[in-house]
Structure 1
Amino acid sequence: MKKFLSLLLVCVLLGLSGAALAEDAASVPAFEDIVFPETMPSGYYKDAQSLDYSYDDMTETYEVEIVSQGYGSPHLPNEEDPILHYLNNAFNLDITFTVVNGEDLETHLSTRIAAGDYPDVFVLPSREFAFQLSDAGLLIDARELYPYLPLHQKYVTQGMIDYSTNTSNDEIAFITKYGIQDGIWCAAIRTDWLEAFGMEMPTTREELIEYAKACTFNDPDGNGQDDTWFMTAAGGGNGLGMLHNIFCTMAGPNQAYVDENGELSHPYFNGVRKEFLTFCKELYDLGVLAPDWYTIDWETAKSYTLNDKIGLLYYPAGSLYGEYTMAQGNQDEETMAVWKFMEQYPIEGGKYDVAGNPGYMWAFSAPCFEGQEGKLLRVLHMIDTMCVGGENFSHTAQSADDIVYDQFGIERIGSQEFVYTDDGMFYIRQTNLDENGAEQFPYDQGSYGGLQLASWQNFGLNVSWQLSDPDTGDPVIDNANAITNEAIKVIAGVDRWPNYGLSVTLTGDAAEASITLGDWINATEFEFVTGARSLDEYEDFANEWLSRGGQAIIEQTAECLGCEVPEYAQ
């Protein structure tokens, strides 16, 4: 199976004549010639509609079953599914769309595969599940798929390729791309407090410390009480929470990587983690963290934010502005302007933590496509156009646009249009709603919208690049949307460390140690931050980590990254 698509091109050229076919074949690159990006782009690929799919002649009708993941609400029956109807017409297909809730997915697939009842294309419950099927020879190597997915190629990093490679046989077990909600968190700061302190946006450690002290000791809310603070962790007693989220990368990546000398660099041994803990201890010693900073959980900690008692957060833009304005009772410009997301990392030399994590993983059954090369090309063609920017993204994501429902003959109470922006984003414009539109949009059957069609968007949705409509006609809403949209664009474009971790797969003792050491690490780091244990003993901690199982982690990490095991772990 591994080389069957290469054979397909030979067959096509033998069976059909003409220079145009040779040009079509030449437009499909060899996998080895594809240059996958190192990091995710900050917006959609703007030339997606001009990509060449002429490898698919679209003449023959094919039957195909796709298994996708559901979200607890029953998907519409196939005969009532307008998106399925649209795709069948657009791609000359007869699709069976099977939706299984996430918790049942592995059982569903295992049972069917054991019985020889293979779905053509299916979403995976885990990478390990895919590798087991790959070892059994049941999956098509994605080296044979990616050349026919020109839009995916723009959204798949080299790290994702490493992540999806089965080391036991060197097959790429599945295709993937961006996650639906990847890289949407960032540090946010109170601009009204900055103004009250006479400060600019902090960009150095010293400036951030001065802001932290002012948040805590300069009475920014003016009530004459000592009841405001710089930050809380909000980790519920299980780690350093938001402190870790923002500052663990202040001195370098929070992952192991191969440095410029070809040697393994690990945050426990290159100073990165110790520097972070030293900074946290400085904040603790200054008294700028809320009294229950370590024990308070995420939901409870929102009271600090909503009651104007905290000066720095780690949050998604839409959630922060939505929760804060609801608590304040309005969305006016002054309220929206309180929080601003920090485009520049707040400490010199640092970057934000990684993004570019894989989204849904899709496997292609080798037995189903044996002798069905035309069907495979048709499915790849369809799936690729469902990515952001592609021709069929708007027809399959967020309950789809009007074109789908017009073709299906559904009477609408509103209209939904996808609009792309020049800066790599998109938004959805909803118009002509009746008084119940907010609940019923977009269609009066009730079924059409919400979760009943959400499983289709597993192929392409990316809310990291989704804005709100900037022109609703309501000045207050438009202003709120403008501020939120600007924050979303800021977050999409912040400087982040590369995602080295995608190249590392831990198994056996190393995988077990990475889990079982968690509580001990959290407890020890809490001692370092609070002074119960001196940071002078950090090297002792790192060596104890090695003896408790970290050595196996270092050894496997070095093997995955193709470098020698450092002397300290030998």
Structure 2
Amino acid sequence: MAILVLFTASIANVGAQVATPAATPDATPVATPMATPVGSGYTPFRFEQTQTVTMMASVRSQEAGPPPGDWPWLQRVRDELNIDVQITWISDAGQYTPTLRTRAAANDLPDVFTTDLSTTSLLVQQGLAADWLPFRDFMPTYVRDRDVEALAPIGTFDGKQYSLVTKNADPYKGVIAIRQDWLENLGLEVPKTTDEFLAVAEAFTTQDPDGNGAADTYGFTGSVNFEGFIAGLGGFQGAFGDSAPWSVVDGKLVNRAVTEEHRQYLEFISRVQAAGVMDPDWVSQEALDSWAKWKAGRIGIVFEDWCALFCIQGYSEFKAANPTGSFVPIDPPVGPTGLSMAGERSNAGLQLGLSQRAVDEGRGEAVARLLEWINGPGYLATAHGEEGQGWERNAEGQILQIKEVSVLPYRQLTGWALIGSAEELVARYESVHSYDDGESIDVYSVLERSGAYPINDTTQWAAMPPAPAATYADFIRTQSEGEYAFMTGTRSFDEWDAYVETLNSIGLAEWTTQAEARARELGIIE
């Protein structure tokens, strides 16, 4: 809904200050196979008559493009299930939800699609979302392997499961990274505190760290998401105790948008903006634009998805523009009271919606059978691609993905199949790539480095209801515009109390009442 949510922790939990992902491992990491292989017990099934299923999906690798028309996966589904799958691909992840909602407004939803709780709530209000419960019997291994039953409360409205929520297959993906070569060029130490981060950002902006003689570098960048919230600076939130979507205070829920901790975070970002260390486009550009800035060598400190930065696609583009440049992961900043937290992770992962039109026209079973197949015999092809093209086995029998950029379009649907096992993580991320300047990036070590960050499990909050549909648009607009104004210094923090009163009057108070009822139902509060 808003900017990256982060939590508080003792500074004692923070590890070493620098970990350069450069060393080549002695051997491929060894993963213990799952006790019950994914899809175990799958019952083969094939429709007698050809079924058509439409899907909408965001590409996994945003710059690799969708699969080609002769993608072998489509033929596999035809051969094994007799289902003709037609996929609408969204290449810019930031445009996925707006596109889905636009299609909903035109009553043109695909049969099955990824969604989020707020969007699902709107679709339920419009009568466009269908109940998954009648179709779960057609997908027993999918339900079993992906914790669907345990996570069902998250997507259930009035006793109907409108969102099929599965366990999060991804490790914690956030990373705080800095240009090591710029630090060395300017004789600077790795920053630890928020004030030190700001000081280093000022040096990166004013002291020509790349030595090209031009004033074209900045400490930080950011972007604006589809709801108008500024993103890309969330690594600072934990330094101020900025909490989860909801916090329990004296037995009552408080939305993070109006907490004192969140206000302190916004105040710090206003300091960053006033210092002139931000990429000037940060308040208007989209995420892909901000990526282009650090790839071009214009940004010194990034709060990023670690694979977007360090996996071969992103880092190769960075090195092409900056042959001797180097990013390294560092610890999250420490705030004025000693708090530090990298981010949050929920065990609620992929959420799938089923259109009511698909059910009314008799395609609900075909959708369920397709998901069951993806969890069974279609797992490897969906998660990793074709054997020999997308993956291979090493001498120990461990599956390893082939990491060539040309392969990425064939794995764009991988998020629909991934299950998060240790074996799978090795397959996905065991990769060492060397560059012309001698730098080597061990991606799996970056995964482990990120996993050592202090983070918070926010799974319990995933079941909270979204903002009321009747006031959702006004509330989100007022909140995003308010945070934008506070961050950019166009609104004084003397007006914070008035801002909070406004949020409460246009839906937050009602939303909080609904969330408290849900929290009591789930035993989060008494």
Q: Alpha-carbon deviation of 1:194?
A: 2.9
Q: Alpha-carbon deviation of 1:217?
A: 4.3
Residues 270 and 489 of structure 2 are in contact (CA less than 8 Å); yes or no, is this contact kept in structure 1?
yes
Give structure 1 stretches of 5+ with no counterpart.
1-42, 89-93, 114-118, 387-391, 403-414, 432-437, 442-448, 565-570
Aligned twin of 1:99:
86
Residue 339 of structure 1 pairs with residue 339 of structure 2? no
**Paired letter, 1:560:** R
Choose which of 394, 400, 404 in structure 1 pairs with 2:380: 394
Residue 164 of structure 1 pairs with residue 158 of structure 2? no
Residue aligned with 1:188, SS:
strand
**Paired letter, 1:139:** L
CA distance in 2, matches of 1:201, 1:297: 28
Residue aligned with 1:208, SS:
helix
Q: Alpha-carbon deviation of 1:312?
A: 1.2
Aligned twin of 2:391:
417
Provide the TM-score with structure 2 as the length reference: 0.65
Aligned twin of 2:10:
none
Residue 544 of structure 1 pairs with residue 502 of structure 2? yes
Aligned twin of 1:191:
180
Deviations 1:13-46 (A, max 9, x none): xxxxxxxxxxxxxxxxxxxxxxxxxxxxxx9984
- Supply the RMSD in Å over aligned alpha carbons: 5.3
Aligned twin of 2:402:
429
Q: Alpha-carbon deviation of 1:514?
A: 3.3
Q: Alpha-carbon deviation of 1:247?
A: 2.6
Q: Which has the higher strand share?
A: 2
CA distance in 1, matches of 2:40, 2:291: 53
**Paired letter, 2:145:** L
Q: Alpha-carbon deviation of 1:528?
A: 2.8
Residue aligned with 2:134, SS:
coil
Residue aligned with 1:401, SS:
coil
Residue 275 of structure 1 pairs with residue 248 of structure 2? no
CA distance in 1, matches of 2:442, 2:414: 30
Residue aligned with 2:256, SS:
coil
Instruction: Provide closer, same or farther for how the CA distance between residues 465 and 250 of structure 1 changes in structure 2, counting only shifts above 3 A.
Output: farther
Within 5 Å, give how 1:103-122 maps onto structure 2.
none
**Paired letter, 2:199:** E
Instruction: Provide closer, same or farther for how the CA distance between residues 537 and 485 of structure 1 changes in structure 2, counting only shifts above 3 A.
Output: same
Residue 496 of structure 1 pairs with residue 455 of structure 2? yes
Aligned twin of 2:25:
none
Q: Alpha-carbon deviation of 1:280?
A: 1.1
Q: Alpha-carbon deviation of 1:339?
A: 0.9
Choose which of 466, 478, 481 in structure 2 pairs with 1:506: 466
Q: Alpha-carbon deviation of 1:516?
A: 2.1
Within 5 Å, give how 1:168-567 maps onto structure 2.
168-169=158-159, 171-173=160-162, 175-178=164-167, 184-222=173-211, 227-235=216-224, 238-243=228-233, 245-259=234-248, 261-295=250-284, 298=287, 301=290, 304-306=293-295, 308-320=297-309, 322-323=313-314, 325-326=316-317, 328-329=319-320, 334-335=324-325, 338-344=326-332, 347=335, 348-356=338-346, 357-361=348-352, 382-385=373-376, 393-402=379-388, 415-419=389-393, 427-429=400-402, 450=409, 458-460=416-418, 467=428, 470=431, 476=435, 482-491=441-450, 494-497=453-456, 498-506=458-466, 510-562=468-520
Instruction: Provide closer, same or farther for how the CA distance between residues 130 and 525 of structure 1 changes in structure 2, counting only shifts above 3 A.
Output: closer
Q: Alpha-carbon deviation of 1:289?
A: 2.9
Residues 342 and 455 of structure 2 are in contact (CA less than 8 Å); yes or no, is this contact kept in structure 1?
yes
Residue aligned with 1:396, SS:
helix
Instruction: Provide closer, same or farther for how the CA distance between residues 183 and 142 of structure 1 changes in structure 2, counting only shifts above 3 A.
Output: farther
Q: Alpha-carbon deviation of 1:77?
A: 10
Residues 131 and 173 of structure 1 are in contact (CA less than 8 Å); yes or no, is this contact kept in structure 2?
no
Within 5 Å, give how 1:45-84 maps onto structure 2.
46-48=32-34, 50-51=36-37, 67=53, 69=55, 81-82=75-76
Q: Alpha-carbon deviation of 1:323?
A: 5.0
Provide the TM-score with structure 1 as the length reference: 0.61
Give structure 2 stretches of 5+ with no counterpart.
1-28, 58-65, 90-98
Q: Alpha-carbon deviation of 1:542?
A: 0.8
Q: Alpha-carbon deviation of 1:275?
A: 1.0
CA distance in 1, matches of 2:175, 2:130: 42
CA distance in 1, matches of 2:239, 2:231: 15
Q: Alpha-carbon deviation of 1:503?
A: 1.3
Deviations 1:135-184 (A, max 9, x none): 9877327599778744323xx696x4332222x12x44454325687854
Q: Alpha-carbon deviation of 1:231?
A: 1.6
Q: Alpha-carbon deviation of 1:276?
A: 0.6
Instruction: Provide closer, same or farther for how the CA distance between residues 67 and 345 of structure 1 changes in structure 2, counting only shifts above 3 A.
Output: farther
**Paired letter, 1:193:** W
Deviations 1:331-365 (A, max 9, x none): 86x43xx1123354554423234444532527697
Aligned twin of 1:140:
134
Deviations 1:315-337 (A, max 9, x none): 334543545653653786x43xx
Residue aligned with 2:402, SS:
strand
**Quick one: percent identity of the two aligned structures?**
15
Q: Alpha-carbon deviation of 1:191?
A: 1.5
Q: Alpha-carbon deviation of 1:188?
A: 2.0
Instruction: Provide closer, same or farther for how the CA distance between residues 95 and 231 of structure 1 changes in structure 2, counting only shifts above 3 A.
Output: same
Instruction: Provide closer, same or farther for how the CA distance between residues 161 and 134 of structure 1 changes in structure 2, counting only shifts above 3 A.
Output: farther
Residue 127 of structure 1 pairs with residue 120 of structure 2? yes
Instruction: Provide closer, same or farther for how the CA distance between residues 152 and 222 of structure 1 changes in structure 2, counting only shifts above 3 A.
Output: same
**Paired letter, 1:202:** P
Residue aligned with 1:482, SS:
strand
Highest Rg: 1 or 2?
Answer: 1
Deviations 1:512-551 (A, max 9, x none): 4332234433443344334443323312211122123322
